[in-house]
Structure 1
Amino acid sequence: MNQRLNLHQKGQNALKTLFATGSYLKKTSLELSLRELVDFRVSQINGCAYCLDMHSKDARAHGETEQRLYGLSAWRETPYYTDRERAALAWAEAVTACHVPDEVYNDAIQQFSEEELIDLTLAVSNINTWNRFNLAFPTTPGGYRVGQFG
């Protein structure tokens, strides 16, 4: 059996760009709780266990509830999320699927400024890229510690 390379040990030069994007996103007006929900939902869609482990721990550490995390895959059917969160989740799902219907855009632009929507799109793109790296070069879930990567 082939052993795949360890992404976090061997890919540091390539990953600097993703870490820099994450640093930029921390400085935007997008709420940390919103970014964590988006990261978690996109990671669910992409089936990235490492990112699900990471973002569930980070979200909980920042006050997210178990109920909202458990209900995230069915967010449309639950009362736990704000209109802004719902617009962000719909946007994240659409961008991840590479098809943004007018209705999703119209809902998003009602909740986010143009700059915020651009930043949200960057956040969705960033977690999609992380998911793809972690799926291509599997990283064992379970060992992440809150704040481990800054």
Structure 2
Amino acid sequence: MNMRLNYRTSSPDVLKAMLSLQKSVTDSSIDHDLHELLKIRVSQINGCAFCLDMHTKDLMKMGDYQEHIFLLSAWREAPIFTDRERAMLALAEAVTKISEQGVPEEVYTQARAHFDEKEYMELILAVNAINGWNRIAISTGMFPGCYSK
């Protein structure tokens, strides 16, 4: 496999903008494990192999999350996810697929039961950031291991 182009070298300004956005997310109050689950789920929806590879490895470095990773695509039926994780996952899916039905009131209410206004907005920013990274990776032909070659 070959990448179409290396956005890092062809457009350093794009990289700079995305890194600035990512820094805002990383510096937020979102739990790191929750944030990695968010990135993995959004990357599953978008079909981004590069990001799935990176973020599943990142989550595994944080602890024993193998079962969470295996069951993430079926989180609604998997009892291992907490109510807080479920609220975040429902919100992440709704925002990623926003053109389908917006963010339903039930999803908003569930999210707000677990996250205050600031945290809610931080989650929205996190979803936007990973959606942006997914779109860059997919559009430029990135694949797992492409930067190690």
1:116 aligns with 2:81: no
Q: What is the match of residue 78 of structure 1?
A: 78
Distance 1:3 1:50, change over 3 A: closer
8 A contact 1:33–1:64 mirrored in 2: no
SS state at 2:123 partner: helix
- Supply the distance in 2 between the matched residues of 1:100 and 1:35 (Cα, whole angstroms): 19
1:125 aligns with 2:145: no
Pairs aligned (count): 144
8 A contact 1:42–1:128 mirrored in 2: yes
Structure 1 residues 95-144: Cα deviation after superposition (integer angstroms, max 9, x where no partner): 00112100000000100000000010000001001100111101121357
- Supply the distance in 2 between the matched residues of 1:19 and 1:63 (Cα, whole angstroms): 25
8 A contact 2:30–2:123 mirrored in 1: yes
8 A contact 1:53–1:144 mirrored in 2: no
Unaligned 5+ residue runs, structure 2? none
RMSD: 1.7
Unaligned 5+ residue runs, structure 1? 146-150
**1:21-36 equivalences in 2 (<5 Å):** 21-36=21-36
1:139 aligns with 2:138: no
Give the Å deviation of 1:64: 4.3
Which aligned segments of 4 or more residues in structure 1 are displaced greater than 2 angstroms? 142-145
Question: Percent identity between the aligned chains?
Answer: 47
Q: Which has the higher mean CA deviation after the structures are superposed, 108-117 or 60-69?
A: 60-69
Give the Å deviation of 1:18: 1.3
Distance 1:64 1:15, change over 3 A: farther
- Supply the distance in 1 between the matched residues of 2:22 and 2:81 (Cα, whole angstroms): 24
Q: TM-score, normalised by structure 2?
A: 0.91
**1:1-150 equivalences in 2 (<5 Å):** 4-98=4-98, 99-142=102-145
Q: TM-score, normalised by structure 1?
A: 0.90
Give the Å deviation of 1:62: 1.1
Alignment-mate amino acid for residue 52 of structure 1: L
Give the Å deviation of 1:53: 0.4
Alignment-mate amino acid for residue 73 of structure 2: S
Distance 1:87 1:101, change over 3 A: same
Alignment-mate amino acid for residue 38 of structure 1: L
Q: Which has the higher mean CA deviation after the structures are superposed, 88-97 or 19-28?
A: 19-28
